[in-house]
Amino acid sequence: MQATSILLGIVIAVTAALVSGWLFRALLVAVTSGELRRSFRGAPVTASFGMLVILLYFVVAVLAPILAPFPERQVVGAQYLPWEAPYYLGTDNLGRDMLTRLIYGARNTVGIAFATTGLAFVVGSVLGLWAATVGGWIDQVLSRLVDALMAIPALIFSLLLLTIFGTSITTLILVIATIDATRVFRLARSVAQGIVVMDFIEAAKLRGEGVWRLISREILPNALAPLVAEFGLRFCFVFLAISALSFLGLGIQPPTADWGSMVRENATLINFGDVTPLLPAGAIALLTVAVNFVVDWQLHRASGLKE
Amino acid sequence: MAHVWRMIGQRLLLGLLTLFVISVVIFGATELLPGDLARELLGQSATPETLAALREQLGLNDPAPLRYWNWLTAALQGDFGISMGNKRPIADLIAARLGNTLFLAAYAAAMAVPLSLMLGVLAALWRNSIFDRAVNAMALTSISFPEFFVAYILIVWLAQSGVFPSMVRISSRTTTPDMLYMAFLPALTLTLVVTAHMMRMTRAAIINLLASPYIEMARLKGLSPLRIVLRHAVPNALAPIINVVALNLAYLITGVVVVEVVFVYPGLGQLMVDAVSNRDIAVVQAVALIFASAYVLLNLLADVLSTLSNPRLMHRR
Amino acid sequence: MAKPVLLSMKDIHIDGRSGDDWLPIIKGVDLTLHKGEVLGLIGESGAGKSTLGLAAMGFVRDGCRISGGSINFDGIDLMAAPESDRRALRGKRIAYVAQSAAASFNPAHRLIDQYAETPVVHDVMSRDKAEADAVELYRRMQLPHPEEIGFRYPHQVSGGQLQRAMTAMAMACRPDLIIFDEPTTALDVTTQIEVLAAIRDIVAQFDTAAIYITHDLAVVAQMADRIKVLLRGDEVEEADTRTMLSAPQHDYTKTLWAVRELARPAQPPAAGTPVVSVKDITAGYGSTMVLHGVSFEVHKRRTVAVVGESGSGKSTVARVITGLLPPVSGEILFEGKALPPDYRRRTRDQLRQAQMIYQMADTALNPKLRLRELIGRPAQMYLGLRGKALTERIRDLLRLIELEPDAFIDRLPSELSGGQKQRIGIARALAAEPRFIICDEVTSALDQIVAEGILRLLEKVQDEFDLAYMFITHDLATVKAIADEVVVMQNGRVVEQGPKDEMFQPPHDPYTELLLSSVPEMDPDWLTRLLKERAAGRAGLNA
């Protein structure tokens, strides 16, 4: 009986997602025009559902103090209260309102993941494009360094670094960004290497253009599409990595509301058949699914245009 | 053949060099510690005399290269020092758990590799069909789920009803069938996560090949789709597939950390997480070294195998 | 023709998918082929020749569909037949020979395994018999070591040999029809001859019907009994080969024929200081030398054609002159003064004086920049033009290359045709106001009529701006069309050089002789005559 109700729930959720994606696409097509409108019209339902979810998360993150019924860190009642008003999703292990913490989690968890990805991206892609453009010993040194760093599994390396530097939000961002920048570096470098061998780069070099002009005007515009898609993928990896660390108790530290640590703090409820800890975990999963759907669409579009 | 063995020899040397660099990074990381190991051990209240005595005992006054050399040679002989947490030899802590972790990873790999290769080949063969789309959407969803989410869903679904245990307790009397039964949920969690990655990459590798002119030639020779995939695509897809499998087995190694914590599975990942929380640096170093070595060795193995599968390298002009 | 009809295609329509739309590729073409007959299918890129050829096998590429018409092969309706029936025909009764044998052989299997696959899968003969048969066909295709060559992997065999092995493979089941899809396009001229001769012989020996697809008129003249001309998916005309060559009816066909007549009149010998002197250049990559003591001069208002096959080092010369590859010894003089060997050491003015036009306009123009910036950047950099003056200069240049400024100035390269892209390449070179331009195979990626327009434009601007050209090419028709002087290269050495008229007159260096005689001519008897002459030459040598 439980299996059938779960299956029914999955079917309803998938249908609701597809319908909302379809409606959102209709809305996007209606309010845009030109090139943008044409690309929205060609978007699969999964991708438009993804865009809708990303938009919702963004709104919740920005408006968190307005939307949340209680302050982020306030103890409002007893521990582990059930799902009843005014605590619509119950309370956590310290008696804080679950819904409030979930809403603030959108701001903290997503915000930190976004900042980390952005930092990793700027550092990684600037160095990667530079290495591919100038080549020679600079490229060799940077590439071998990145090879060595990438030979250590990411999670293991971040655990090692966090042991040494301690677990504050700043060190977390710096550690994860450093590790992730190596991955971005490798991608940016290989994309740029594909462009650097083109005749128009040779023409620009023979014209006497400088390195920064080469990177910014000749290479970057052509590398942008794969880099943007990679940004989405990297965000998913960073987001999952930070959540995993927080879940292990080594990432974002209490009392900051964060989805990964919320799962950890309330995990005992699972053993009593209470699904509350699945809510923050589900919130992480939903956003990652959404971003992946959009990235998949973009990658598909990019590969389709090439043929 | 000589040139192939030379290439493999070079690759092995490079692997050794990588391992060396990794060991330097892992050791060097402790040099960045604010304060030193002795202060970490004794705390702020220690007197200068006891601190100095401990430093002498731990060999902290030696120059860094000498300490690295001592650490490495001891580690190679299986001696990783003493845990700060419970003052036991680290080698003993690891020995009890290494087998469990390897068992879990092998268990998951045994389920995931055949499953994902089969799904990947079928999805490539029937690309753009309903089957392909459904498998792809599921794979994309599964990739997006944090491991602990998958694990707790499985617990709610399969452990609440009492079909499988949600915690793993291993004693000396535990038999292999018992292990397979108890470790089923953690292994299944890892399988779900890794299968999705591996299946997508296998599919992409094969579809990439299906666009080659020699596949069109095979179709124009009137061969059946199955024969085209098995005889013309797969032999050329071996190298990418080997790399995909190696990459994902390497991913399993890190994946075990979270899964072991969820299921309270007595493995290396669990040990490492505890050590990080206690800032037990010697244990973290030891476990990191083991994980990283396994990772490097897997990639090395994949490189060697894909070299051997390349006819251009095996049969030169 | 008394022979019975083998293949009959009626009113064929084929579409290709473009986004959500279907665009027509073939617009209602009829095609009839008799047993044992060879039909030449010619046309420029995008004419739909390959698509039509594949449709004769009841096959369309992914993303295409047959939207109308009928295909009847020896009494079998290929459109109505189930896929399994069509599959049973392919390889067995209708075989295919692809353009690039190197890419069309599976790298993972030996030649003999790929040869034997078709007869064994189609139950024509046993594996043992197929292997014995392969040796026989390899011998007939004049492959060296026919007993052993099958046991090699594709990457162990040269391009010309692979193409012959692929023809042998197509013959394995003794099909009634073979589709040859540009089988010699990827080969050098001297290799092409051997492959053409082998293909022609074996098709005649087994009385196999063939559809021979190519863009090269002279090649099709040697191979086909009849010729059909296609233009953008439509048939232009069809006739017996000799009739078609001597009396083409349609305007388009006449233009195609006329392009080959373009020839630059002889100029008086040039005097004074040469614009560029290449002096005894030896250069290479690492320890392998690609150029050995290469010297020649290029004068004002003159064009020097550097001719050679792939691997002759002709493109490396360009890299040395531009400074991308500093030579090991020798020097480059510009108007009598030595240039620094590395382009990074050259002054902005030295860079400005020598410009380059590339073979592939697609990769030579940054796809993300608009024409305004593509052409404007050199003018802005070298001449310091800004604002209105710059825009005026860009518009002048567009007018010069015969493109309407208002319509083109804000376009991206992707919004241009192949010929227009190459014109932008020329405008970009001219924007620097150079004295010397290197043209690297600038017409070889273009269709003949478009290429002719480019050559005429290059001649026009040469006269207008007193330019010196170095023209790298493998195509002797292009040499005839534009060169004043010719430099013939082989294996990194200059084997012969001099004024064009002398080069096309005997006596020649033996390599020049081979190169010149290997260029197919429009005469349908040319190949037969050439092979006879060469055989006689060999017999003479032996006697």
In this complex, do B216 and C98 lie within 8 Å of one another by their Cβ atoms?
yes
CA dihedral (A155, A192, A133, C439) in degrees, to 10, reads: 170
Is B220 an interface residue toward C (CB < 8 Å)? Answer: yes
Model pLDDT, residue A1: 47
* The amino acid at A94: L
Say what the pLDDT of residue B126 is: 84
Confidence check: pLDDT of C100 > 90: no
So what's the pLDDT on residue C334? Answer: 93
Q: Which of C122-126, C254-258, C314-318 has the lowest mean pLDDT?
A: C254-258
Residue range C256-272: mean pLDDT, rounded? 75
> What ipTM score was computed for the predicted complex, to two decimals?
0.86
Rounded mean pLDDT, C133-145: 89
Q: Chain C contact for B311, CB < 8 A?
A: yes
Q: Are A223 and A184 in contact (CB under 8 A)?
A: no
- Mean pLDDT over B273-285 rounds to 86
> Sorting pLDDT into bands at 50, 70 and 90, what band is C285?
confident
Q: Å from A67 to nearest chain B CA? A: 26
A208 in C contact zone (CB under 8 Å):
yes
Q: Which residues of chain B lie closer than 8 angstroms to C90, CB-CB? A: 219-222
Q: Which residues of B touch A154 (CB under 8 A)?
A: 254
Q: What is the pLDDT along chain A (307 residues), one digit of tens a residue?
A: 466 777 888 888 888 888 888 888 888 888 888 778 888 887 888 889 999 999 999 999 999 888 888 888 888 878 877 878 778 788 888 888 889 999 998 999 999 999 999 999 999 999 999 999 998 899 989 998 898 888 888 888 998 888 888 878 899 999 999 999 999 999 999 999 989 988 999 999 999 999 999 999 999 999 888 888 888 889 999 999 999 999 998 888 878 888 999 988 888 888 777 888 889 999 999 999 999 989 888 887 776 543 3
pLDDT on residue C2: 63
Average pLDDT for C109-124: 92
Q: What percent of chain C has pLDDT over 90?
A: 45
**Who wins on pLDDT, C459 or C1?**
C459
Share of chain C above pLDDT 70, in %: 98
Residue C19 pLDDT exceeds 70: no
Confidence of residue C505 (pLDDT cuts 50, 70, 90): confident
How far apart, in Å, are the Cα atoms of A107 and each of A118, A282, C327?
A: 16, 16, 61
Q: In this predicted model, what pLDDT tens digit does every residue of C489-503 receive, in sequence order? A: 998 999 988 888 888
Using H for helix, E for strand and C for coil, what is the string for A118-163?
HHHHHHHHHHHHHHHHHCHHHHHHHHHHHHHHHCCCHHHHHHHHHH
Binning pLDDT at 50, 70 and 90, where does residue B241 land?
confident
Q: Does B167 touch chain A (CB under 8 A)?
A: no
Contacts of C61 in chain B (CB under 8 A): 216
Q: Closest to B143 (Cβ–Cβ): which among A149, A165, A292?
A: A292
Q: Give B-chain residues touching A275 at CB under 8 angstroms.
A: 156
- Interface residue C323 vs chain B (CB under 8 A): no
| Confidence band for C370, pLDDT divided at 50, 70 and 90 | very high
pLDDT for C364 equals 92
Q: What Cα–Cα distance (Å) separates residue C519 from each residue in A250, A277, C188?
A: 74, 78, 10
Residue with the bigger pLDDT between C398 and A297: it is: C398
Find the closest chain B residue to A153 by CA distance. Answer: B292
Cβ contact A263–B148 (<8 Å): yes
Residues 6+ apart with CB under 8 A from C538: none
The values of phi and psi at residue C523, to 5°, are -70, 120
pLDDT of residue A2: 62
Average pLDDT, integer, range B81-99: 82
Chain C positions touching B315 (Cβ under 8 A) are 152-153, 156
A199–C378 CB contact, under 8 Å: no
Q: Is the peptide bond before A221 cis (omega within 30 degrees of 0)?
A: no
Tokens found for residue B41: 């051990």
CB contact under 8 A, C324 and A206: yes
Q: Does C532 touch chain B (CB under 8 A)?
A: no
Out of A154, A236, A292, the one facing B254 most closely (by C-beta) is: A154
Cβ contact (<8 Å) for C351 and A207? yes
pLDDT at A85: 77
Contacts of B180 (CB under 8 A, 6+ apart): B107
Question: Contact B283/B272 with Cβ under 8 angstroms?
Answer: yes
User: What is this structure's pTM?
Assistant: 0.84
Alpha carbon distance C494, C379 (integer Å): 36
Of C323, C348, C363, the CB nearest to A200: C363
Looking at beta carbons, which residues of chain B come within 8 Å of A258? none
Residue of B nearest to A280 (CA): B149
Please, which chains are in contact with A (at least 3 CB pairs closer than 8 A)?
B, C
Amino acid at B78: G
Q: What is the pLDDT of residue A307?
A: 34
Residues in C closer than 8 angstroms to B216, CB to CB, are: 61, 98, 104
Chain A residues with beta carbon closer than 8 angstroms to that of B284 = 159-160, 163
B77 to each of B73, B74, B91, B267, B282, how far by Cα in Å? 6, 5, 10, 21, 16
Residues of C in contact with B222 (CB under 8 A): 86-92, 118, 121-122
Q: With contacts defined as CB-CB under 8 Å, which chain A residues touch B134?
A: none
Instruction: Using pLDDT thresholds of 50, 70 and 90, give the confidence band for residue C90.
Output: very high
- Name the token pair of C298: 């290029």
- Indicate the residue of B33, B157, B261 with minimum beta-carbon distance to A164: B33
Inform me whether the C-beta atom of residue B218 falls under 8 Å from chain C C-beta atoms: yes
> Tokens for C67?
């939207």
The pLDDT score that the predictor gives to residue A179 is 92
User: Does residue B59 have a pLDDT over 90?
Assistant: no
| Nearest CA distance, B217 vs chain C (angstrom) | 6
CA distance A230 to chain C (A): 20
The per-residue pLDDT of chain B, averaged, comes to 84
Contact indicator for C60, C14 with CB cutoff of 8 Å: yes
C1 close to A (CB below 8 A) = no
User: From C359, which residue of chain A is nearest by alpha-carbon distance?
Assistant: A199
pLDDT one-digit tens code per residue, C60-86? 888 888 888 899 998 889 888 898 899
What pLDDT does B40 receive? Answer: 66
| Averaged pLDDT score across all residues of chain C | 88
Between chains, do B146 and A285 touch, taking CB under 8 Å as contact?
Answer: yes
Most confidently predicted of A70-84, C275-289, C521-535:
C275-289
Residue C463 CB burial class (10 angstroms; 0-12, 13-18, ≥19): exposed
Residues of B in contact with C109 (CB under 8 A): 235
**Which pLDDT belongs to residue A122?**
93
Report the residue from C89, C117, C156 with minimal CB separation from B315: C156
Report the relative pairing of strands C209-214 and C226-231 from DSSP bridges. Answer: unpaired
- Chain C nearest-CA distance from B305, in A, is 15
B128 touches chain C (CB under 8 A): no
Lowest mean pLDDT among B140-154, C248-262, C424-438, C508-522: C248-262
| pLDDT of C462 | 93
Per-window interface: B 146-165 vs C, CB < 8 A: none
Among B128, B209, B212, B214, pick the best mutation site for testing chain C contact (most C Cβ within 10 A). B214
Cβ contact B213–C59 (<8 Å):
no
Residues of chain A contacting C323 with CB distance shorter than 8 Å: 206
If residue C239 lies in a helix (H) or strand (E), which one and from where to where?
Answer: strand C234-240
- Is the CB of B214 less than 8 angstroms away from the CB of C106? yes
Q: Give residue-wise pLDDT tens across range B210-240.
A: 888 899 999 999 998 888 888 898 888 888 8
C356 at A interface, C-beta within 8 A: yes
Q: Which residues of B touch C54 (CB under 8 A)?
A: 220
Inter-chain contact B254–A153, Cβ cutoff 8 Å?
A: yes
Q: Which residues of A are less than 8 Å from B30 in CB distance?
A: 164
Nearest-Cα distance to chain B for C223, in Å, is 23
